[in-house]
């Protein structure tokens, strides 16, 4: 059963200072996750985690991760700007974008970021934009087809459809791209691929690694390029459902190590550095959306209305995604009432839970919506004039700090032209 990282007593104190709804992040959990990840890959001397800024674009979160040795993975101009303002520079930034405007390539180059090219046509576009090809460059690979990983020891099957994804280059294009980049002056080459999302299998990363390691050996032989790093991207998931098993990052790291020693080392490529971009794995379990019950409605179903809505967390409305809910103070009570938990948007999909069995809920109860630390606040919006909520950091000493204020109506009106 999922347990919140705060108690009811803590939340009662916190909500006296910060009105609900708000996103709450656990600094200790963030640091512990980063340290476990680095320990799992400590066998690779050049390893680095490039945190996917899109998951949780908050400067204070990024600064915590920087202290833990992480870089940033950026996919837009503003993400690059945020990384720069937070003190990331040079090879601490990976720029992985698609359909990229020229100004974004220009800023990435100015900051010294490692540019990860999504398409073969971007080679000449990049050269025309900045006037040269960087000495260090990466290309994103898409194997096409369907990626399948059979039943794992956890009984979970991974299946995704790279052939329908807009990202990356074909295998022949990877060879062509490396040769062209080498002609234009590139000296250090990297490979990137993302084959499946939110996997709950210790076998996914080692399987992906084996694919990329084998291709790296082939590309080296075909092109003579010096491949110095391989980016395993994201995809290591978190258990949103309470009965799902969590990934074991130590087992995953060991599986990747075996593939590395079986494939790269015999090919004379034992100097290749690895990197990852694990936004969800790093942050999702270390964030809660805190909301208070405003109303109970009984018609054809029983509805619990809360002061948060899909503008604060859109994954359930957008994907039908499951997020666990804890009714604070009632953790040990039987879940013998069936509810839809809803927000106030004028859309019927504005529901955090549908037909969810929970303890008896009363108006004024505090609810914790779990696993919102990644792709939670980041995906917020202002539909219906609902405003994005505050972000609060629960620090390692138990105190709290506001790390993003809630929007106000004046923020909403600020970009409008009134005359």
Q: How far apart are CA 160 and CA 164, in angstroms?
A: 9
Q: How far apart are CA 93 and CA 280, in angstroms?
A: 18
Percentages helix, strand, coil for the chain (3-state, rounded to 5) are 35, 25, 40
Cα→Cα distances 359→6, 334, 337, Å: 19, 6, 6
Instruction: State the span(s) of the chain assigned CATH 3.20.20.10.
Output: 41-277
Instruction: Encode pLDDT of 215-230 as tens digits.
Output: 999 999 999 999 999 9
33 and 281 Cβ atoms separated by less than 8 Å? yes
Q: How far apart are CA 291 and CA 286, in angstroms?
A: 16
pLDDT at 154 exceeding the cut of 60? no
Give ∠ CA 255-148-146 in degrees, rounded to 5.
130
Instruction: Encode pLDDT of 80-116 as tens digits.
Output: 999 999 999 999 999 999 999 999 999 999 999 999 9
The residues annotated with a catalytic role in the active site are: 346
Task: Give the pLDDT of residue 148.
Answer: 64
Q: How far apart are CA 44 and CA 92, in angstroms?
A: 17
Task: Give the pLDDT of residue 158.
Answer: 47
Task: Give the pLDDT of residue 155.
Answer: 38
pLDDT at 403 exceeding the cut of 90? yes
Q: What is the CATH number of domain 41-277?
A: 3.20.20.10
Q: How far apart are CA 379 and CA 381, in angstroms?
A: 7
Lowest-confidence region among 133-137, 158-162, 372-376: 158-162
Lowest-confidence region among 38-42, 132-136, 144-148, 155-159: 155-159
Second CATH level (architecture) for the domain 285-413: Beta Barrel (2.40)
Average pLDDT over residues 283-293: 98
208 and 193 Cβ atoms separated by less than 8 Å? yes
Average pLDDT, the chain: 94
Question: Where does the pLDDT of residue 28 fall: very low under 50, low under 70, confident under 90, or very high at 90 and above?
Answer: very high
Element spanning 189, H or E: strand 188-193
The closest of 46, 12, 4 to 230, measured between CA atoms, is: 46
Q: How far apart are CA 305 and CA 47, in angstroms?
A: 46
Question: Where does the pLDDT of residue 149 fall: very low under 50, low under 70, confident under 90, or very high at 90 and above?
Answer: low
Task: Give the pLDDT of residue 354.
Answer: 98
Instruction: State the span(s) of the chain assigned CATH 2.40.37.10.
Output: 285-413
Per the omega criterion (within 30 degrees of 0), is the bond before 21 cis? Answer: yes
Model pTM score: 0.94
Task: Give the pLDDT of residue 146.
Answer: 66
Instruction: Encode pLDDT of 324-363 as tens digits.
Output: 999 999 999 999 999 999 999 999 999 999 999 999 999 9
Q: What share of the chain has pLDDT > 70, as a percent? A: 95
């Amino acid at each position: 059963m999922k347990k919140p990282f705060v108690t009811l007593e803590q939340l009662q104190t916190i909500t006296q200072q910060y009105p609900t709804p708000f996103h709450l992040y656990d600094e200790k959990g963030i640091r512990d996750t980063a340290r476990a990840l680095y320990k799992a890959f400590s066998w690779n001397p050049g390893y680095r985690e490039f945190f996917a800024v899109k998951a949780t674009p908050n400067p204070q979160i990024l600064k915590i991760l920087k202290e833990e040795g992480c870089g940033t993975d950026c996919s837009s101009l503003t993400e690059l700007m945020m990384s720069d303002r937070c003190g990331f520079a040079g090879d601490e930034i990976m720029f992985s974008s698609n359909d990229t405007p020229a100004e974004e390539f220009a800023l990435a180059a100015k900051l010294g970021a490692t540019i990860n090219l999504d398409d073969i046509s971007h080679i000449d576009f990049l050269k025309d934009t900045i006037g040269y090809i960087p000495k260090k460059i990466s290309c994103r690979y898409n194997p096409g087809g369907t990626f399948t990983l059979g039943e794992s020891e956890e009984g979970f099957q991974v299946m995704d459809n790279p052939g329908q994804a807009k990202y990356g280059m074909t295998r022949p294009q990877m060879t062509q791209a490396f040769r062209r980049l080498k002609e234009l002056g590139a000296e250090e080459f990297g490979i990137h691929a993302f084959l499946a999302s939110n996997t709950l299998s210790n076998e996914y990363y080692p399987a992906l690694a084996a694919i990329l390691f084998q291709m790296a050996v082939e590309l080296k032989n075909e092109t003579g390029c010096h491949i110095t790093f391989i980016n395993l991207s994201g995809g290591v998931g978190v258990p949103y459902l309470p009965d799902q098993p969590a990934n074991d990052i130590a087992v995953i790291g060991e599986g990747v190590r075996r593939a590395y020693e079986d494939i790269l080392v015999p090919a004379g490529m034992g100097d290749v550095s690895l990197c990852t971009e694990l936004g969800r794995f790093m942050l999702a379990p270390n964030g809660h959306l805190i909301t208070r019950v405003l109303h109970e409605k009984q018609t054809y179903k029983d509805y619990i209305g809360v002061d948060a809505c899909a503008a604060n967390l859109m994954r359930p409305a957008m994907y039908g995604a499951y997020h666990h809910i804890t009714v604070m103070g009632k953790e040990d009570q039987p879940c013998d009432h069936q509810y839809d938990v809803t927000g106030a948007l004028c859309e019927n999909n504005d529901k955090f839970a549908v037909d969810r069995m929970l303890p008896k809920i009363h108006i004024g109860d505090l609810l914790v919506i779990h696993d919102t630390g990644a792709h939670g606040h980041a995906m917020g919006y202002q539909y219906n004039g609902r405003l994005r909520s505050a972000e609060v950091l629960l620090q390692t000493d138990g105190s709290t700090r506001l790390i993003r204020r809630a929007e106000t109506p004046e923020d909403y009106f600020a970009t409008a032209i009134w005359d």
